[in-house]
Amino acid sequence: MNLKNKINKDNKGNIYIGIASVLIISFLILSICVLNLAIHNNQENIESMSSDEYNYVIQDYKRNIPIVEKEAIKELSEEVISKKQPVDDSKEEIRKRCDEKLEILNEKYYNQYHIKIVSSVNSVENVSEPFDIRIKTYISSVKGDMNYKNVEENDINIEGLKDPIPFIYCGNGRGFSYNETCVMYGESLSDYLKDKDVDGYEYYINATAPLIVRKCPYDPYKHHGDGFTMKTCRNSGYYHESADGACYLCRLEGKSGCGHYGFETFINPQATTLFNLTSACGSDHVIFGDDTYPGIECIYYSHDGINEILFLDPNGHRVKYGMNK
């Protein structure tokens, strides 16, 4: 190959490489432009939102508030139970936990809908329905020329949560244990009553009580004495409205009774073949209260000579639950 030919060939090669490079660069520039346009369009779709869509998101957010707040109450209750230690101010603890959870929820809504929501709990209160806790939550949101501002009021039903009282009073005692529905006191409760100089404390060895707060449907309560009503109530582990029993907020603070309208449940002594026994009245606010008063044996179910019993004071709880017939 002579020199002239070689130069010609090299020139041709360079021209091909040049054309290919221009094509590749043009293609890349075009691709970037198309991609940019797509991203931009997508962002515009997120930014521009009709007021219907905005209202839909706000309504959806409001539906999530009581769910998040019940979760906060549950978390606190589980912590009290696992530590077997009450909190000083349950309302403040619930408020703090709700705010933390709302912040996470707000972040989620911002990432998903590009809507900025600010919210915080104003108050945590008792209501006349003792199985509810009222939480007032301030919400504010602005999106373009649309905005929403309101104080939401939700009554959070605490049924299905665990009762912290047995854990706080007896959780570290001898033989204390529990399963999904029931607390088994072993010797812990009889030891506790013995320390309080209660006569008949030994009848509470291996006593049992409900774990999960559930409202008794047998209302009016005086019908508990009819047929097998009390037997069904005790097997189901129900709780009853009571002016003397503690509300859920006070239970988290380790109080068995309080000034609010609250609820009570019964602690079942071990079934017995004996009659005419007396011991501490079996309502939980009496057992764990400051002035534990006596109750007399009330048999509500008998099988093969073994009696399932409650200890109830003759004029108070026996009458309230119709066990005086």
Q: Of 135, 86, 141, 87, which is closest to residue 113 (Cα–Cα)?
A: 141
CB of 168 to Zn ion, least distance (A): 14
Q: Which is nearer to Zn ion, 101 or 240 (CB)?
A: 240
What tokens appear for 14 in the block?
Answer: 């360079």
Sole residue written with tokens 């949101």: 141
Q: Tell me whether residue 134 or residue 174 sits nearer to Zn ion (CB atom).
A: 134
- Smallest distance, Zn ion to C-beta of residue 73, A: 14
CB within 8 Å of 30: residues ≥ 6 apart: none
CB atoms < 10 A from the CB of 292, how many?
Answer: 19
Residue placing its CB nearer to Zn ion in the complex, 191 or 264: 264
Shortest Cβ 218–Zn ion spacing (Å): 5
What's the residue count for the chain?
Answer: 325
Q: Which is nearer to Zn ion, 101 or 260 (CB)?
A: 260
Q: Return the beta strands (E) in 179-237 as ranges.
A: 182-184, 208-210
Residue closer to Zn ion, measured from CB, 65 or 73? 73
Give the footprint of Zn ion on this chain (CB under 5 A).
Answer: 216, 218, 233, 238, 247, 250, 258, 260
For residue 225, the minimal CB distance to Zn ion (Å) is 11
Segment holding 116, helix H or strand E: strand 116-126
Q: Which of 212, 238, 210, 243 is nearest to 224 (CA)?
A: 238
Write down the least CB distance from residue 46 to Zn ion, Å. Answer: 47
